[in-house]
Amino acid sequence: MAVEKRVNDLVSRLTLEEKVAQMLNVTPAIDRLGIPAYDWWNECLHGVARTSFKVTSYPQAIGMAATFDVEAMHTMGDYTAEEGRAIYNESVRNNDHKRYLGLTYWTPNINIFRDPRWGRGQETYGEDPFLTATLAKAFVTGLQGNDPKYLKAAGCAKHYAIHSGPEPSRHVFDVKVSDHDLWDTYLPAFHELVVNAKVAGVMCAYNAYAGQPCCGNDKLMINILRDDWKFTGYVTSDCGAIDDFWQRHKTSPDAESAATDAVLHGTDVECGNVSYKTLVKAVKDGALNEKDIDVSLRRLFMIRFRLGMFDPPEMVSFAKIPTSVLESQAHRDHALKMARESIVLLRNASPPGKENNLLPLSKNLKKIAVLGPNADNANTQLGNYNGQPSVVTTVLQGIKDKIGDTMKIFYSRATNFVDTTDPDFTKLIDSVRDADVLIYVGGISPRLEGEEMKVSQQGFSGGDRTSIALPTVQTDFLKKLKATGKPVIFIMMTGSAISIPWESENIPAIINAWYGGQAAGKAVADVLFGDYDPSGRLPVTFYRSDDDLPSFDDYSMANRTYRYFKGQPLYPFGFGLSFTSFRYSNLTLSKTTIKENESLKGEVTVTNTGKYEGDEVVQLYIVHPGIETAPISALKSFKRIALEKGAKQKITFTITPETLKLINAKGENIFPRGTVKVIVCGSSPGKRSAELGASKEAEAELILK
């Protein structure tokens, strides 16, 4: 029997009360029909999360974005689904149907990280719509698998559609955004997952847009998602979002009308246990028809059937995955690979009195000092929405493992993340004066930034940041380390951009290691001592100061992100140094003129001109000079390549009409006439990238007819 017929038959056998109970995220068993209990809520942001099983933990999402590695993202999604299946299979055998054991993962978070103060930005793939869409598609297709009949696991694009803080006001905020910004920035990644990646689920956001809550929004939920994009999957509310209709947004007078509104807008599951319980009464009151309930039930059971939940295990290959895959060697190796690829080398200069760059370090040093609140901090490395691996290698442990007994290590936590006192570091500084190099591992922590947190410290509030500056105590300590005359390395762990103007001028080596997952310490040690050439690239702009930022609650993209920021960043989007160097040359286009229905081929040669083998992330940007609504530049293609020293590789790319189209002020997709620039380089183009020593650009002009 076809799945659709099985679903329709099952729904027809349910009572109204049973149907409504299946529309809450915690669904009861219906024994008379053989339907087991199920909780729709599960997470796998960077590995299976919040389970009691030991699992593989990859870098936080923002760190995975820094890899610019599409294949690695796809593999990570596949490995995550494999571990999730093993946990689900074991739980079914044990008749355990609690939360965080199911196969419907509320991941990925594809909101655009428009403002570095947003604490949940760490869960995203950065500030660029194209990078976000590309990596999210790779993750979702890896997670959901390619079986023609069954989903390996079910992804969920969240938070639809315009949601990026502030955290404390997310339940009441009504976003005002232009049609240009809506279609140019906030919707492309959702379109890619719904239309092209065929994501199973969508989560609608807490906030309102244009006067209507997102989960009950005419334009977002009906006109765009269901009518234009033809989405047939399920929609879940964010947790408690339907209650917000009547409790906070005040767009509905009570729970019954809120639930009715949400269902009629296509929200199939309420994450919560209040508002949707009134749906039985809503049907009996005539507020909606039982057939409206049936529409949601069919979507929900279609997902469960596609996951193989109602078929014998012998029919579903994924049902045979054993728990032995948890933390398998291949998965652990991949966590290390992605941790290495995520590391961004921001600065590598020569220390005072030295000729060579500070990094990589010699393995013949006598003593090093490892300092800082993140030097031996496993919790920071795991980020948020994380699982618990059996082993987490911190930076301190990674360095110890790397050098063995060959040199002496001095360790101290040294500072807190934030400190409003004036600590005396005299004794500590005296203890490290005989070290050959001083390594300070600071930054911030997922205990300070994240989702709706009860945190109120200097620079942080409610999960967000009130300042992007590195906390003063850390800069003060780094100044004291520099004053010793010893070489200083600053390693940052963070989920977002940090303003470090003093450090960028005074500390010879700066590494951004994000929240790098279980293998972050080994990855950092590999970079420090030259066993891995750093190749991560920034998925967000690092601004110079808070003065560069518009108001946090302003969702206009004016002067935000590399695409529209008119100032000079501290470190630009797409930037990252290497121990080696790369040259771009011989950029050629198969045509110099193109019409709206045409495509063209391009080619550029990339040469490793340095002394190390390494990876380069080749980035293609399009610039539309003189068009007011156009981005300053926009990423349209990228590819990570590996080159031996002295080797060269020809990179080919295709420019399609879609690559060249723009969004006008009305939100319409247009093909602009005129001249555009095609720039291929190792960072977002601009003066600042050149100043920092990014790979030289190759540029060509193209006329659009």
Tell me the per-residue pLDDT of 447-474, one tens digit each, with 9 for 90 and over.
Answer: 999 999 999 899 999 999 999 999 999 9
Residue 382 has pLDDT above 80, yes or no: yes
pTM comes to 0.98
Residue 345 has pLDDT above 90, yes or no: yes
Residue 694 has pLDDT above 80, yes or no: no
Going by the DSSP 8-state scheme, the letter that residue 345 receives in this structure is: E
Beta strands in 114-222 (DSSP E): 156-160, 174-175, 201-204, 208-209, 212-213
Average pLDDT rounded to a whole number, residues 412-416: 97
Going by the DSSP 8-state scheme, the letter that residue 79 receives in this structure is: H
Average pLDDT rounded to a whole number, residues 559-581: 97
Q: Where is 140: in which H helix or E strand?
A: helix 129-144
Exactly one of 238, 244, 341, 464 is catalytic; which is it? Answer: 238
Q: Is 414 helix (H, G, I), strand (E, B) or coil?
A: coil
Residues 6+ apart with CB under 8 A from 148: none
Beta strands in 11-154 (DSSP E): 26-27, 38-39
Cα(435)–Cα(94) distance, integer angstroms? 55
pLDDT confidence tier of residue 177, bands split at 50, 70 and 90: very high
Phi/psi for 110 (5° steps) reads -110, 20
Residues 6+ apart with CB under 8 A from 237: 203, 204, 215, 262, 267, 269, 270, 271, 272
Q: List the structure tokens of 167.
A: 């955290």
- Going along the chain from its start, the domains and CATH numbers come out as 1-35+158-306 (3.20.20.300), 338-564 (3.40.50.1700), 582-704 (2.60.40.10)
Return the half-sphere exposure (C-beta side, CA atoms, 13 A cut-off) of residue 343. Answer: 32
Cα(644)–Cα(582) distance, integer angstroms? 11
- Residue 28 confidence (pLDDT): 98
**Measuring CA to CA, which residue among 84, 95, 105, 90 is closest to residue 36?**
95
Catalytic residue list contains 127: no
DSSP 629-650: TS-SSEEEEEEEEEE-TT-EEE
Q: List the structure tokens of 331.
A: 């998965």
Cα(588)–Cα(471) distance, integer angstroms? 47
Q: List the structure tokens of 666.
A: 């009305």
Average pLDDT rounded to a whole number, residues 326-350: 98
- Residue 475 confidence (pLDDT): 98
Residues 6+ apart with CB under 8 A from 379: 445, 446, 447
Share of the chain above pLDDT 90, in %: 96
Tell me if 31 sits within 8 A of 21, measured CB to CB: no
Residue 395 has pLDDT above 80, yes or no: yes
Tell me the per-residue pLDDT of 219-256, one tens digit each, with 9 for 90 and over.
Answer: 999 999 999 999 999 999 999 999 999 999 999 999 99
- Residue 519 confidence (pLDDT): 98
**Which value, to the nearest 10 degrees, does the dihedral of the CA atoms of residues 352, 355, 356, 361 take?**
-50
Exactly one of 69, 115, 270, 449 is catalytic; which is it? Answer: 449
Average pLDDT rounded to a whole number, residues 590-613: 95
Q: Which amino acid is at 201?
A: G
Catalytic residue list contains 598: no
Tell me the per-residue pLDDT of 291-316, one tens digit each, with 9 for 90 and over.
Answer: 999 999 999 999 999 999 999 999 99
Tell me if 510 sits within 8 A of 527, measured CB to CB: no
- Could you give the maximum distance between any two Cα atoms of the chain, in Å? 83
Cα(572)–Cα(582) distance, integer angstroms? 18
Residue 695 has pLDDT above 80, yes or no: no
Q: Where is 10: in which H helix or E strand?
A: helix 3-12
pLDDT confidence tier of residue 210, bands split at 50, 70 and 90: very high
Tell me the per-residue pLDDT of 91-134, one tens digit each, with 9 for 90 and over.
Answer: 999 999 999 999 999 999 999 999 999 999 999 999 999 999 99
pLDDT confidence tier of residue 145, bands split at 50, 70 and 90: very high
Tell me the per-residue pLDDT of 262-294, one tens digit each, with 9 for 90 and over.
Answer: 999 999 999 999 999 999 999 999 999 999 999
Average pLDDT rounded to a whole number, residues 386-413: 97
Tell me if 206 sits within 8 A of 270, measured CB to CB: no
Residue 691 has pLDDT above 90, yes or no: no
Cα(590)–Cα(577) distance, integer angstroms? 31
- Residue 137 confidence (pLDDT): 98
405 exposure class (CB count in 10 Å sphere: 0-12, 13-18, 19+):
exposed
Phi/psi for 628 (5° steps) reads -60, -40
pLDDT confidence tier of residue 352, bands split at 50, 70 and 90: confident
